[in-house]
């Protein structure tokens, strides 16, 4: 795919700008060529800054997950302090420890103490070779089943999933906006070609009428009427060219290179001509139109479900805060050189307890968490129903526009036959320039309407693609 994009990049006439003001614009080969919708989407998906930015969101959430995992990293600590005065060592205190946090708030700690000094606090006295300890701390109340450390890790994993869904939605939005710009460029290009053709027809007709007037076959007034039509066609053509220039530049906003250099589409490029029969396939909608859509797997629904799961983690943490804080610790202590076995009487124990009497703050936070969770669940139910109805409506809209295009194409053929018949009558002397112009105006309106209907059909397909938010394959 990349090689195909690079190959097409050499064919697509694009202008590099924004490097340095002293550089002249660099244009590729100035040859008329078709720039297909699929090729355009390949540029957008690979190089557009918004798509790249969406990928950064996922990278950011992965970095946050790594940070949350860091709370469970083992820690090596050391503390040393010493005081000498009047040629005496008042105290020399050293404590080194190695802590291992575990999932359920339990902490394992190994430590070594070596203290000495003349005026040392009695509780710091240890054997000459120092004192080792190996212990465990267990939160019996708060923090056993869930704590801040566990909650952050759980939410970190959920945020990675959420970022993946949001990346899909952001990418789909960028592709949809770019697709709309392409379709408007295609519409304006086709209108320019239409008005150009009718303008050239008007020029030929005007020349023929002038010659016929000189030969005395037509009255001079016919040149005035044909001249009005000629000026009208020229004005329509000029307006259409201005719109095409604007839409081409707008579409260029979505064309970038790998090095984040913006590109400008050349005037010599033309849009895809047979897109009506291929757009559903390009947008991967062909199979989806014949299948029942399961919105439970929709990225937006998955994102909302993930947000609810994050709120549920917060709620569990709030509920845990209503438990009393009770922490129990036990450490076995021994001299490093002691080899006579385990001595049950050598240990340190610790217990801490706290509990707010009224729990007003905790109960309020718990209630707020419940309200937030219920609100999100109601929103999820509404979003599911709204999304289902929107998809059905867009299916019907797409089919309706398809039928309208068929009907309008029949009208174009009918108006063309009417114009051809009027021209034959005029050649037989049974019609006038006025009637030919009237028939031609009706044909122009029908063909413009046909271009607009196709454009609306394309935009409807893009809107359906955006609503379905089909993830792109990596």
pLDDT digits (tens, 9 = 90+) for 346-355: 889 999 998 8
The better pLDDT of the pair 80, 23 is held by 80
Look up the pTM and report it: 0.79
> 462: closest CA among 180, 198, 268?
180
The pLDDT of residue 226: 85
Tokens of 196: 């150009």
Count of domains forming the chain: 1
Residue 215 domain-assigned (yes or no): no
Residue 2 domain-assigned (yes or no): no
Residue 92 domain-assigned (yes or no): yes
Please state, in angstroms and rounded to a whole number, the distance separating the CA atoms of residues 311 and 157.
13
Domain enclosing residue 80, as ranges = 74-146+322-359
Residue 437 domain-assigned (yes or no): no
Residue 337 domain-assigned (yes or no): yes
The pLDDT of residue 291: 60
List for the chain the helix, strand, coil content (%; round to 5): 60, 15, 25
- H or E element: which one contains 137? strand 131-139
Residue 383 domain-assigned (yes or no): no
The pLDDT of residue 30: 38
Residue 103 domain-assigned (yes or no): yes
Average pLDDT over every residue of 399-423:
93
Residue 422 domain-assigned (yes or no): no
The pLDDT of residue 420: 92
> 92: closest CA among 64, 126, 67?
126
């Amino acid at each position: 795919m990349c090689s195909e994009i690079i190959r097409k990049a050499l064919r697509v006439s694009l202008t590099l700008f924004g490097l340095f003001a002293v550089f002249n614009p660099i244009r590729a080969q100035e040859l008329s060529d078709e720039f297909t919708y699929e090729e355009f989407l390949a540029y957008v998906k690979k190089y557009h800054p918004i798509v790249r930015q969406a990928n950064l969101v996922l990278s950011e959430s992965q970095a946050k997950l790594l940070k949350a995992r860091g709370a469970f990293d083992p820690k090596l600590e050391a503390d040393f302090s010493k005081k000498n005065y009047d040629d005496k060592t008042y105290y020399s205190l050293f404590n080194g420890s190695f802590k291992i946090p575990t999932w359920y708030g339990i902490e394992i700690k190994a430590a070594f103490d070596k203290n000495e000094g003349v005026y040392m606090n009695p509780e710091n006295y240890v054997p000459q070779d120092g004192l080792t300890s190996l212990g465990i701390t267990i939160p019996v109340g708060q923090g056993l089943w869930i704590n801040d450390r566990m909650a952050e890790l759980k939410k970190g994993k959920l945020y990675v999933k959420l970022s993946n869904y949001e990346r899909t939605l952001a990418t789909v939005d960028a592709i949809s906006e770019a697709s709309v710009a392409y379709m408007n460029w295609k519409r304006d290009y086709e209108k320019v070609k239409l008005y150009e053709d009718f303008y050239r027809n008007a020029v030929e007709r005007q020349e023929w009428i002038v010659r016929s007037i000189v030969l005395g076959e037509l009255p001079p007034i016919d040149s005035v009427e044909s001249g009005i039509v000629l000026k009208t066609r020229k004005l329509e053509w000029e307006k259409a060219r201005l719109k095409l220039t604007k839409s081409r530049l707008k579409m260029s906003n979505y064309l970038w290179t790998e090095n984040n250099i913006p590109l400008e589409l050349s005037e010599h490029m033309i849009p895809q001509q047979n897109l009506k029969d291929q757009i559903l396939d390009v947008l991967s909608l062909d199979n989806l139109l014949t299948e029942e859509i399961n919105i439970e797997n929709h990225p937006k629904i998955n994102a909302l479900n993930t947000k609810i799961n994050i709120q549920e983690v917060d709620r569990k943490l709030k509920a845990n805060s209503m438990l009393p804080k009770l922490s129990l610790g036990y450490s076995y202590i021994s001299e490093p050189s002691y080899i006579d076995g385990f001595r049950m009487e050598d240990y340190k124990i610790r217990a801490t307890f706290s509990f707010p009497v009224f729990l007003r703050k905790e109960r309020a936070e718990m209630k707020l968490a419940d309200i937030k969770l219920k609100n999100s669940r109601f929103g999820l139910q509404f979003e599911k129903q709204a999304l289902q109805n929107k998809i059905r409506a867009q299916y019907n809209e797409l089919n309706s526009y398809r039928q309208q295009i068929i009907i309008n194409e029949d009208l174009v053929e009918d108006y063309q036959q009417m114009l051809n018949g009027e021209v034959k009558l005029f050649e037989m002397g049974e019609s006038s320039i006025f009637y030919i112009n009237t028939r031609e105006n009706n044909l122009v309106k029908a063909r413009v309407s046909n271009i607009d209907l196709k454009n609306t059909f394309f935009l409807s397909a893009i809107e359906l693609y955006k609503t379905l938010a089909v993830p792109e394959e990596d």
